[in-house]
Chain A
């Protein structure tokens, strides 16, 4: 079990070496170092997993305390790792997918002037993420939570010389602060109620059925944690940052904004299941957020023109499914979908990255086309990812989405309806994407010729808000000079190997939790985490499942047929790309208007009236009086020994006077 320390230590070591080695560690070396560290972490996770597997399922939870930070009265804040099926499952795919993406980045980031800074962030991210997942208490988890937020900030704004990247990074950060507020309030509540942050103290008695908790308390804690989860996992109402976060390099989008960090909210909810169990309201809130988000984001994804933004909205939508499953009480289904999603979404992003790479940083799908002839490995890989995401049997997405929808049906047919509609839309927008990218005419040739005018107008009509032109023109001058320098080329092997591995995983990964033949490994593995005292078991009859599965598949196939048919030759269909959706329901603009309108006026008033006179007055007053006090005190500090001696003498006399008064009384 001591391998558990390595899970955490290796990425940390990698990050530190890269941080302090700085520019001395050159181009490919830092990439390989980071990959080796991530891979080592993955191997260590596998070792721990195997060890746990060798134990009876009832004793598969081990707490390993690393050190105690500060013992204060009854509160012992210790930093330790909890090794149980849930945390190990998460770190398996975090480190596994993380390794592949780090390796992929070696090719993708080649030649970037800040090459080693990038890999520092990647290793630091993996470290923070495994801390988040493996921590044995909420406070330590929160540190990891903040750590991934920081790394995400650094990576979204990696090309900080681009305004849009810097703005997107700030947006992501600020949005996440809202969620962090919720998390912190939940921490206070938890401490007030349980007197501890440790999972073993807070959750274990509840999970074992030894303790109960008042519904109102449970609801309050759960809702506050869900606020945190919603921000990190980009759900309604705090999803706006994720599409903008696509400003980061594509491997980052794959690692952080698709496969791992955004699932932190899903993890948090699953971890907190024993508390949520006592709050039906919270369950409904989670399920409704999930259903609403998966539908809303799917509609928006239908009209995006940026290859990565489509995938970003699809990520939001898919995480909605995970929330839906968790809110419906079927945590295993949600986690199953999380793992499958990590495979196929990482695959799609990396394949999209290969496309972008091939076209020298072109991201607008309307300037792509016909790429299937040029990218012999990327193309089939992308298609596999597409089929998995569109939930076409027998690929990954079909199986996990099926279980999610069955759980939703059990909770409420309305939730199920949202989910199924979103499934249809998913198949549609993904078909549109592959048609635009891989079929049709090779528009990149003409696009290269008249890049300036046509390209920009096409973009401003299509892209949604806050997304400037800079996003498409790529980083630096590479994009510009690269255009027209020949046909698109396939990526180097460091990029294609991860694609192939992930494609295989997206095709056969579902066998990890198949609903038949005793193949439901994930369900069995997670069973000790979600006993009946945590998630009330329910069964959906096989017949119902068949019907639900057939209906959902019918929706998916319809969406697929529509998408493939409508976008076979067409490049633009204004009727199907309403501005309403292109602008993401005007939600961002609405917020922007509200913020820049009345809110901004209020802020102005505050800053010029309240702040200037009151707050600044107070602060300046303190500063002025401190300065004044300093000035007066300095008068005493003359530098003359006689004055010093006199001052000490006066002090002595005062003390003596005091004691004489005391002695006299």
Chain B
């Protein structure tokens, strides 16, 4: 890894290396700056000082994961209930603390690169580090109940979660394409395993496999994009690429643009933008529910961090080239996500399409290519983290053992079975629909505003129409929560789930008409739902944040502060 670090750093510095150069004692550089031999000491300019403070949260998570493994090795096979989630959330809390300290430290270091230019240390990164730390805390707490219910408890899930978050942090802080790719892989490989974590559910294994195959495919495309961009600009570092493009016209624009296109595809896959979204419904549905929430929050945030860095920072000069692509992706993502969500009968699958649609709004912010748009996108991601983790936590307690009931019918009459849970879910759904006084409204408002400010009226109108379509399915679920199931109603068994179900081919399409849809819903289970304490805490925090960030502007001020210092 250090070789790669040095190599790209050399290239970035633009060292004219026609022959092997001895830069310093015991430190030689091969022609082209591709090979570094020997030990470079602090005496020369190539020395890379590791500013640990800039990667502190990442280190905490990575070391934490190792500590967790070590602890599990010395403990008896079944340690005290709740030990691992408590430790994981404590590690997440430490990372959060470190990130918050960075927030204040980073203010003075706006836009600085550290560790040989491989790490961006600014508030943009730090905001995402805060977001990821929060996601770790919430998800580890939400997973506890699930894992114990399903008999999967052990240290592995938490270690994977921490490693995946480490990768996501690296993506958020990446100063160049290589670091971005490394982060992407670290994050993704853990996520593949997490998706397949429920050993006894075939869907889970299938989700992991699909995610892995398609993920590898997209990683390959991404890597090819990195190579092409490097070929066109001579660097993999964002700032270097930007300054090169600002000063020169690439000899071959085609190479640069093809590289850019492939980077968009690779990152578009991670954020589940249409048409690179196909894995999303199957993986979200098959993965263990709390992990789905984690995936939706962290992978999306990290992917968008990369997209924002690459497009606005590295390729800011090529706006005219990538804006139409992102425009199209945004429109497709908004439309397909909303329309497909309507047709779903499965709760998790519906939420998967909903998360696709939500990504469309963030793309709106990216497409604006302004400070305002980027901070709106960050704000969107920040609010969505809470919303999506909370929503999947509710789904988790509703579905019951073995993820038996994830169909829409299961949520019917939820308010009867647990009024607080029903109200919480309603708030979270309203937030996703973008109802005022929830964070979702402000989030949508600011991305659309950013779009309008750039004169993108069509895009803004499409986004609003998509929100109207999306409101239908969110409100339908909201209605179901408060619909009392008919006492005399016998459980109706419906064959299959939604579309694309697990290698089974096509399924009959349910009607759009609400009544008919209700008629084919299965009767919900009865009895009061008990929510594990940790899960209840997660849901409560999510709901409170959703409301607090919706009624006041503190969160957007935060996001603005993050971006204005980029």
Pair A626/B469 contact, Cβ less than 8 Å: yes
A67-B552, A67-B553, A650-B275 known; A639+B265 contact, CB < 8 A = no
Complex Cα–Cα for A289 and B519 (A)? 53
Comparing B111-119, B335-343, B393-401, B487-495, the segment that makes contact with chain A is: B335-343
Number of interface residues of B (CB under 8 A): 54
Give the contacts of B325-354 with A (CB-CB under 8 A).
325, 336, 339-340, 342-343
Comparing B300-308, B455-463, B499-507, the segment that makes contact with chain A is: B499-507
Pair A633/B553 contact, Cβ less than 8 Å: no
Pair A648/B500 contact, Cβ less than 8 Å: no
Q: Does B230 lie at the interface of the complex (its beta carbon under 8 Å from any beta carbon of A)?
A: no
Pair B269/A648 contact, Cβ less than 8 Å: yes
Pair A634/B278 contact, Cβ less than 8 Å: no
Chain B residues whose CB sits within 8 angstroms of the CB of A640 once the complex forms:
503
Complex Cα–Cα for A658 and B258 (A)? 9
Q: Does A575 lie at the interface of the complex (its beta carbon under 8 Å from any beta carbon of B)?
A: no
Number of interface residues of A (CB under 8 A): 41
Partner of B258, one of A630, A644, A656: A656
Chain A residues whose CB sits within 8 angstroms of the CB of B445 once the complex forms:
70, 72
Chain B residues whose CB sits within 8 angstroms of the CB of A631 once the complex forms:
343, 509
Complex Cα–Cα for A663 and B442 (A)? 38
Partner of B340, one of A630, A659, A664: A630
Comparing B73-81, B130-138, B209-217, B538-546, the segment that makes contact with chain A is: B209-217
Q: Does A204 lie at the interface of the complex (its beta carbon under 8 Å from any beta carbon of B)?
A: no
Complex Cα–Cα for A660 and B257 (A)? 8
Chain A residues whose CB sits within 8 angstroms of the CB of B552 once the complex forms:
67-69
Pair B509/A630 contact, Cβ less than 8 Å: yes
Pair A626/B339 contact, Cβ less than 8 Å: yes
Chain A residues whose CB sits within 8 angstroms of the CB of B501 once the complex forms:
639
Q: Does B244 lie at the interface of the complex (its beta carbon under 8 Å from any beta carbon of A)?
A: no
Give the contacts of B219-277 with A (CB-CB under 8 A).
221, 253-254, 257-258, 260-262, 264-265, 269, 275-276
Pair A645/B213 contact, Cβ less than 8 Å: yes
Complex Cα–Cα for A406 and B214 (A)? 85
A69-B553, A644-B210, A648-B217 known; A637+B262 contact, CB < 8 A = no
A623-B512, A659-B257 known; A630+B551 contact, CB < 8 A = no
Chain B residues whose CB sits within 8 angstroms of the CB of A629 once the complex forms:
339
Q: Which residue of B lies closest to A625 (CB)?
A: B339
- A66-107 vs B, CB cutoff 8 Å, 1 = contact: the mask equals 011111100000010000000000000000000000000000
B231 to chain A, nearest CB (A): 14
Pair A644/B279 contact, Cβ less than 8 Å: yes
Give the contacts of A631-665 with B (CB-CB under 8 A).
631, 633-641, 643-645, 647-648, 650-652, 655-656, 658-660, 662-664
Chain B residues whose CB sits within 8 angstroms of the CB of A479 once the complex forms:
none
Chain A residues whose CB sits within 8 angstroms of the CB of B218 once the complex forms:
648
Chain A residues whose CB sits within 8 angstroms of the CB of B324 once the complex forms:
658
- A48-69 vs B, CB cutoff 8 Å, 1 = contact: the mask equals 0000000000000000000111
Pair B265/A651 contact, Cβ less than 8 Å: yes
Pair A663/B278 contact, Cβ less than 8 Å: no
Pair A641/B257 contact, Cβ less than 8 Å: no
A655-B325, A656-B258, A656-B261 known; A70+B553 contact, CB < 8 A = yes
Q: Which residue of A lies closest to B552 (CB)?
A: A67
Pair A641/B321 contact, Cβ less than 8 Å: no
Q: Does B154 lie at the interface of the complex (its beta carbon under 8 Å from any beta carbon of A)?
A: no
Tell me what chain A mostly uses at the interface: helix, strand, loop, or mixed.
Answer: helix
Chain A residues whose CB sits within 8 angstroms of the CB of B275 once the complex forms:
647-648, 650-651
Q: Does B449 lie at the interface of the complex (its beta carbon under 8 Å from any beta carbon of A)?
A: yes
Partner of B257, one of A67, A630, A645, A662: A662
Pair B282/A652 contact, Cβ less than 8 Å: no
Pair B257/A663 contact, Cβ less than 8 Å: yes
Q: Does B360 lie at the interface of the complex (its beta carbon under 8 Å from any beta carbon of A)?
A: no
Q: Does B32 lie at the interface of the complex (its beta carbon under 8 Å from any beta carbon of A)?
A: no
Q: Does B82 lie at the interface of the complex (its beta carbon under 8 Å from any beta carbon of A)?
A: no
Q: Which residue of A lies closest to B499 (CB)?
A: A634
Complex Cα–Cα for A79 and B258 (A)? 50
Q: Does B293 lie at the interface of the complex (its beta carbon under 8 Å from any beta carbon of A)?
A: no
Q: Does B485 lie at the interface of the complex (its beta carbon under 8 Å from any beta carbon of A)?
A: no
Pair B340/A634 contact, Cβ less than 8 Å: yes
Pair B500/A637 contact, Cβ less than 8 Å: yes
Pair A636/B551 contact, Cβ less than 8 Å: no
Residue of B210, B281, B343, B504 with most chain A CB atoms under a 10 A cut-off: B343
Chain A residues whose CB sits within 8 angstroms of the CB of B261 once the complex forms:
652, 655-656, 658-659
Pair B553/A634 contact, Cβ less than 8 Å: no
Q: Which residue of B lies closest to A660 (CB)?
A: B254
Complex Cα–Cα for A326 and B276 (A)? 65
Chain B residues whose CB sits within 8 angstroms of the CB of A635 once the complex forms:
506
Complex Cα–Cα for A68 and B442 (A)? 12
Give the contacts of B546-566 with A (CB-CB under 8 A).
551-554, 556
Q: Which residue of B lies closest to A645 (CB)?
A: B217
Give the contacts of A603-643 with B (CB-CB under 8 A).
623-624, 626-627, 629-631, 633-641, 643
Chain B residues whose CB sits within 8 angstroms of the CB of A626 once the complex forms:
339, 342, 469, 512
Chain B residues whose CB sits within 8 angstroms of the CB of A624 once the complex forms:
512
Complex Cα–Cα for A659 and B342 (A)? 33
A615 to chain B, nearest CB (A): 16
Complex Cα–Cα for A652 and B269 (A)? 11
Q: Does A280 lie at the interface of the complex (its beta carbon under 8 Å from any beta carbon of B)?
A: no
Q: Does A22 lie at the interface of the complex (its beta carbon under 8 Å from any beta carbon of B)?
A: yes
Partner of A633, one of B209, B264, B340: B340
- A11-26 vs B, CB cutoff 8 Å, 1 = contact: the mask equals 0000000001010000
Chain A residues whose CB sits within 8 angstroms of the CB of B511 once the complex forms:
627
Pair A638/B342 contact, Cβ less than 8 Å: no
Q: Which residue of B lies closest to A654 (CB)?
A: B275
Chain B residues whose CB sits within 8 angstroms of the CB of A650 once the complex forms:
275
B235 to chain A, nearest CB (A): 20
B103 to chain A, nearest CB (A): 21
Chain B residues whose CB sits within 8 angstroms of the CB of A633 once the complex forms:
336, 339-340
Chain B residues whose CB sits within 8 angstroms of the CB of A639 once the complex forms:
282, 499-505
Chain A residues whose CB sits within 8 angstroms of the CB of B556 once the complex forms:
70-71
A443 to chain B, nearest CB (A): 45
Partner of B551, one of A69, A647, A663: A69
Pair B214/A645 contact, Cβ less than 8 Å: yes
B317 to chain A, nearest CB (A): 14
Chain A residues whose CB sits within 8 angstroms of the CB of B339 once the complex forms:
626, 629-630, 633
Give the contacts of A275-293 with B (CB-CB under 8 A).
none
Partner of A655, one of B264, B513, B551: B264
Complex Cα–Cα for A647 and B281 (A)? 15
Q: Which residue of A lies closest to B501 (CB)?
A: A639
Chain A residues whose CB sits within 8 angstroms of the CB of B214 once the complex forms:
641, 644-645, 648
Complex Cα–Cα for A658 and B503 (A)? 33
Partner of B499, one of A69, A637, A659: A637
Q: Which residue of A lies closest to B504 (CB)?
A: A639
Q: Which residue of A lies closest to B335 (CB)?
A: A629
Chain B residues whose CB sits within 8 angstroms of the CB of A69 once the complex forms:
551-553
A16 to chain B, nearest CB (A): 12
Residue of B278, B324, B445 with most chain A CB atoms under a 10 A cut-off: B278
Complex Cα–Cα for A67 and B547 (A)? 13
A53 to chain B, nearest CB (A): 32
Give the contacts of B429-464 with A (CB-CB under 8 A).
442, 445, 449
- A28-42 vs B, CB cutoff 8 Å, 1 = contact: the mask equals 000000000000000
Chain A residues whose CB sits within 8 angstroms of the CB of B449 once the complex forms:
72
Pair B505/A638 contact, Cβ less than 8 Å: yes
A69-B551, A658-B325, A662-B257 known; A637+B281 contact, CB < 8 A = yes
30 contacts between A and B (CB under 8 A): A22-B419, A68-B552, A71-B556, A623-B512, A626-B339, A627-B509, A627-B511, A629-B339, A630-B509, A631-B343, A633-B339, A634-B343, A636-B278, A637-B278, A637-B340, A638-B506, A639-B504, A644-B210, A644-B214, A645-B217, A648-B265, A648-B269, A648-B275, A648-B278, A650-B275, A655-B265, A658-B325, A659-B254, A659-B260, A663-B258
Q: Give the 9 A-B residue pairs with the shortest CB-CB distance, closest first.
A: A630-B343, A651-B275, A644-B278, A659-B257, A637-B500, A663-B254, A634-B499, A639-B500, A67-B552
